[in-house]
Structure 1
Amino acid sequence: MPSALRNSLLTALLALVFGFLGAATWSWSGLADNRTRAYLLENPVVLEEMFAALQQQQAQERLAEVGSPAYMPFPGAVMGNPEGSKVLVEFTDYNCSYCEASLPDVTRLIAEDPDLKVVLRELPQFDGSEAAARMALAAAMQGKYVEFHEAMFKLGPANSETAVAAAQQIGLDLERARTDAASDVVTVELAKNFQLAQQLGFNGTPGWIVGDTLVNGFVGYDRMKEALEKAGPPLG
């Protein structure tokens, strides 16, 4: 790591720690003397903990800036309890293998907690994914989002043909679904999801908002369960 970058990182981490301690204004020269820097470099776990705390603080700041729109679902694109007070938001792509692997974990979390609301945000990034994402939102408009969501992962890979097959399998009004999938309402929703993902710092799927915090990638049932138990209420 370049010296200038390392010093900047140490400065930020030290400022964070002393901010937690209620310190007033400190300068680099007053804090990061040779002994302090030596201690931190000899005890990297301290740096790791400080960096994790800094990342969490920055994530919460980004989430607070975005506010309530991040938690507001496209009508019908919800799993679990639509009125639940515990909120889990997932940015998902039907051609994302990690999103598919996360589905059983999400289903298990919902089964274990009747107060859990899972908001699905379609974020199609791979070839063929947009057709499936559009059909998923069209399914939501017919009250069959969950059925389509599960069927689409089973039928994959996602493309225009498998999206239609999933729609037929769950009994969608296909003519209406095709019209809805191509509508401005769906186009605006997808654009909003990409903007939200960018604002929150997600560069792939799955990306999660767990109450008042952000989680990147496939983390498994245990980590998600722990995050939900520790999470505060949704921000905004």
Structure 2
Amino acid sequence: MTGKNLLLLSSSKYDGFGYLGFAKNEITTFFKEKNVSRILFIPYALFDYEQYTETVRKPLKEFGFDVTSIHTFKFPEEAIDNAQAIFIGGGNTFKLLSTLYENNLITKIQQKVTKEGVPYMGCSAGTNVATVNICTTNDMPIIYPPSFSALNLVPFNINPHYLDPDVNSVHQGETREQRINQYHEIPNTPPVVGLREGSLLHLNGNKLTLKGDRKARLFIRGQQPVEYETNSDLSFLLQ
């Protein structure tokens, strides 16, 4: 895991803040420590790439970074080759992963982040695809990717937008916890971090830290879930 630099957000929006606003300090520090001035954005999780890029460009410009979108390049692989940093936004995880496969970017991104240490930021769907597979996404399978296997930048899964049961709700369907437990009924499934809104994971080399202002809930197959406070060291998940 040495050399990887990841910032994985549960979402881009959080109550009381503008787009990415809740994580401004974390984002700014994350990129500037690596001398990043230009970020390559991958908008594949939504259909309107132009509008999505503009949504992302405005706040990141205010944070001090220029944004170029991969959809403006004739050859997407060359965009990855020349990227100072990569940001994959949220939307539909199935569409996102399918388009990454379609453009032959899975291995290319893995190499860039793993071997060259290029900073990677994801939120929501962009966080899902950074993990082992997309089996713990909340999204509807609107398109079928060639595989559910994702970028595997970390050896565990994440459930962004993790929700605790609402004791006042009349909803009788499965809770998030129950659905994750159902996933863990399958043998050899990786741990799952239930990442609540307002939370993010920061990987710097061999150190993985929970950031933000919310706890995270960790699910490991065959064990009871465990709550972790913000600023907890979760580096043991990298083993």
Structure with greater strand share of residues: 2
Larger radius of gyration between Structure 1 and Structure 2: 1
Q: Which TM-score band applies after superposition, normalised by the shorter structure?
A: under 0.3
Structure with greater helix share of residues: 1
- TM-score w.r.t. the length of structure 2 is 0.26
